[in-house]
């Protein structure tokens, strides 16, 4: 489950599920019967949901981006490629009573259940019930809503939770934060960009700014008890002394705390955030390797990978895969609340089809850690680590290292130069790992052509394309290559 999906009510989840079912379909359309079966909808409820979605597009000013149609036996989505279901989900969260309760409590404007109910024209039982649900959910993340309606528990978890939430809901809008929080944050961003001689991407800048605004607003709440839990990894000298001091001396940190230990820990958490988000690396990444429990998890992953695919360990180490592994294991300890959720909704089928070997390995590896006390952190964080591992493997391990190539033969009637054109375009699909044979041999598994010769029909798989190929031709080709690899 995505980390904030539970904030949505039943109706919003239903509408979002229908929208995503169509959105994730290659043709942006699906049979009504399939949708009703998969989403447990009656014909009446399907029609109602389609109408409600279109009304919501109008309400949230998304009409120019989307339109859902129910025509005959199919439900289709018309989109302009300017937005995704993420926009719709953010709008639903922003409208939810759960989000508004969290938002009101965060900015210390929640007085009582009765006052909130009267001010927002919501019945007392509904507010009371939602508040109880929030308390139960947040307790899993080590976040407590006190009787005085304050957030306590792990301060680090509180900040991370709201950073992800506010970035999702408000994107590049910061008007809801106090002006001084925004001002101090902008000053620190400027200082740090000069320190590291980096220019953050627009989205990275927005994310970092949300995190800093929340940190400044919540400033000074890292008390001694909180430090014992939150700063458990900060005893290690991951960051340079001058690096820490330069940030600690900024007006941003001074606005939070003038007490030396608190100021240092606030600085270390900011640097840790930058590290796990990938904004700073090199020296700090090297020092992560010196933390025994981080090193142990990364080493275990590498050993399992080498054993599973009979790999040369030296070649694996040459890919520098230890660097991202150390980072995500550090993140698993520091962002312990992510053990229950992912920060984003993913299409599992896509990864299973396109990266099946990596997908299966990650699943098997994580389950192998379940009964081993040394690797419980991996099992506890299985939801988020599954995707983290998968993306690292896709990024760092060439498919050629773990799977034999699929041999294909290209033969179009337009001749040699056209064949070379097709070959060049095929090689741009680096995830397919194919070899183009100059003739049909024993290893050839697929013929790509615009004319199917009868003598090959029973011997070798063939795909017939239009010239030039359509998008659907490329999709069929990729699917066929994956099928052939799976059969091997």
CATH code: domain of residue 10? 1.10.10.10
DSSP single-letter state for residue 339: G
Q: How far apart are CA 329 and CA 276, in angstroms?
A: 10
Residues 380 and 426 in one domain: no
Average pLDDT, the chain: 87
Residues 235 and 265 in one domain: yes
Q: What global pTM score does this model have?
A: 0.83
Residues 322 and 247 in one domain: no
CA angle 189/151/208 to nearest 5° reads 15
Question: At what angle are helices 124-139 and 97-106 packed, to 10 degrees?
Answer: 70
In a domain, 115, yes or no: no
Q: How many domains does the chain have?
A: 4
In a domain, 107, yes or no: no
Q: How far apart are CA 295 and CA 83, in angstroms?
A: 40
* pLDDT band per the 50, 70, 90 thresholds, residue 336: low
Domain boundary among 242, 260, 284: 284
Position 232 scores a pLDDT of 58
Q: Which of 462, 384, 458, 395 is nearest to 430 (CA)?
A: 395
Residues 473 and 366 in one domain: no
* pLDDT band per the 50, 70, 90 thresholds, residue 60: very high
Residues 248 and 307 in one domain: no
Full residue range of the structural domain in which residue 194 is found:
154-284
Residue 394, classified by CB atoms within 10 Å of its CB into exposed (0-12), middle (13-18) or buried (19+), is middle
Interval 201-207 mean pLDDT: 87
Q: How far apart are CA 286 and CA 149, in angstroms?
A: 42
Q: How far apart are CA 251 and CA 212, in angstroms?
A: 13
245 has pLDDT over 80: yes
For the chain, give percent helix, strand, coil, nearest 5.
60, 10, 30
In a domain, 129, yes or no: no
278 has pLDDT over 60: yes
Give residue 220's region: left, alpha or beta (phi > 0; psi -120 to 50).
left
Residues 159 and 276 in one domain: yes
Q: How far apart are CA 299 and CA 374, in angstroms?
A: 12
- Give the range among 218-227, 237-246, 352-361 with minimum mean pLDDT: 218-227
Residues 11 and 64 in one domain: yes
Residues 458 and 416 in one domain: yes
Residues 385 and 471 in one domain: no
111 has pLDDT over 90: yes
Residues 55 and 43 in one domain: yes
In a domain, 452, yes or no: yes
DSSP single-letter state for residue 342: B
Domain boundary among 284, 304, 336: 284
Position 26 scores a pLDDT of 77
22-57 pLDDT per residue, tens:
998 878 999 999 999 999 999 999 999 999 999 999
Residues 275 and 163 in one domain: yes
332 has pLDDT over 90: no
Position 428 scores a pLDDT of 81
DSSP single-letter state for residue 2: B
271 has pLDDT over 80: yes
Domain boundary among 231, 252, 284: 284
């Amino acid at each position: 489950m995505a980390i904030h999906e539970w904030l949505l009510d039943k109706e919003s989840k239903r509408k979002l599920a229908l929208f995503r079912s169509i959105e994730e379909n290659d043709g942006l359309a699906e049979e009504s019967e399939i949708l009703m079966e998969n989403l447990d909808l009656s014909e009446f409820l399907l029609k109602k949901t389609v109408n409600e979605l279109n009304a919501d597009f109008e309400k949230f000013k998304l009409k120019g981006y989307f339109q859902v149609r129910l025509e005959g036996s199919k439900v289709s989505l018309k989109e302009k490629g300017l937005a995704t279901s993420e926009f719709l989900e953010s709008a639903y969260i922003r409208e939810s009573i759960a989000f508004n309760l969290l938002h009101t409590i965060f900015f210390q404007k929640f007085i009582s259940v009765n006052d909130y109910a009267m001010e927002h024209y919501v019945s007392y039982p509904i507010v009371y019930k939602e508040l109880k649900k929030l308390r139960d959910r947040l307790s899993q993340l080590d976040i407590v809503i006190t009787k005085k309606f304050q957030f306590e528990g792990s301060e680090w978890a509180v900040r991370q939770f709201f950073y992800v939430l506010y970035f999702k809901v408000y994107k590049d809008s910061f008007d809801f934060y106090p002006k001084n929080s925004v001002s101090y944050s902008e000053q620190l961003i400027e200082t740090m960009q000069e320190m590291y001689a980096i220019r953050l991407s627009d989205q990275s800048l927005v994310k970092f700014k949300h995190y800093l605004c929340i940190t400044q607003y919540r400033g000074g709440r890292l008390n001694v008890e909180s430090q014992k839990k939150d700063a458990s990894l900060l005893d290690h000298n991951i960051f340079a002394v001058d690096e820490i001091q330069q940030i600690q001396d900024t007006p941003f940190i001074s606005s939070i705390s003038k007490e030396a230990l608190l100021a240092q820990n606030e600085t270390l958490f900011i640097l840790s955030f930058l590290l796990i988000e990938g904004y700073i690396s090199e020296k700090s990444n090297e020092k992560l390797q010196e933390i025994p429990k981080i090193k142990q998890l990364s080493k275990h992953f590498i050993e399992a990978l080498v054993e599973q695919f009979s790999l040369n360990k030296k070649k694996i180490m040459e890919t520098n895969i230890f660097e991202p592994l150390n980072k995500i294991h550090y993140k698993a300890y520091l962002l312990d609340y992510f053990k229950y959720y992912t920060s984003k909704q993913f299409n599992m089928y896509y990864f299973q089809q396109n990266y099946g070997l990596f997908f299966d390995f990650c699943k098997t590896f994580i389950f192998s850690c379940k009964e081993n006390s040394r690797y419980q952190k991996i099992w506890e964080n299985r939801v988020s680590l599954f995707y983290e591992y998968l993306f690292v493997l896709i990024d760092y391990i060439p498919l050629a290292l773990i799977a034999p190539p699929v041999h294909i033969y290209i033969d179009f009637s337009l001749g040699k130069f056209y064949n070379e054109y097709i070959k060049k375009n095929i090689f741009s699909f680096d995830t397919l790992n194919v070899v183009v044979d100059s003739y049909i041999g024993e290893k050839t598994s697929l013929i790509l052509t615009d004319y199917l010769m009868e003598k090959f029909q029973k011997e070798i798989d063939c795909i017939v394309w239009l010239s030039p190929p359509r998008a659907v031709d490329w999709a069929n080709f990729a699917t066929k290559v994956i099928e052939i690899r799976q059969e091997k």
